[in-house]
Amino acid sequence: QVHLVESGGGLVQAGGSLRLSCVASGSFFSEMGWYRQAPGKERELVARITSTGIPNYASSVKGRFTISRDNAKDTVILQMNSLKPEDTAVYYCNAETFINVYWGQGTQVTVSS
């Protein structure tokens, strides 16, 4: 059975940093990543990373966020720097096998101006 356990998030002032962590278990995941959903908006990609460490970022976070992955620990980390109020959202961990997609429960990130 697949489990995704997220940690991190919280409240930070604009310009600050936060670190999100997601520990996955129960399968091999070809890709892992983070999505976010702000109130009244659709869920959107933030960043993804393959099992070989190739990242992909949304243009809105490129240069500010860094995604990394530890395959030995089945963990994906999202380091978020230079946060902006528009980064405020619920952030969801995502993990994909070759046949299924899994989601974490979400963690709130709030950036105050």
> Which tops the pLDDT comparison, 61 or 2?
61
Are 89 and 98 spatial neighbours (Cβ–Cβ below 8 Å)? Answer: no
Say what the pLDDT of residue 78 is. 98
Say what the pLDDT of residue 73 is. 86
Say what the pLDDT of residue 26 is. 87
Q: What is the DSSP letter of 52?
A: T
Q: What is the pLDDT of residues 4-42, one digit of tens each?
A: 999 999 999 999 999 999 999 888 899 999 999 999 999
Q: What is the pLDDT of residues 54-111, one digit of tens each?
A: 999 999 999 999 999 998 888 999 999 999 999 999 999 999 998 999 999 999 999 9
Say what the pLDDT of residue 10 is. 97
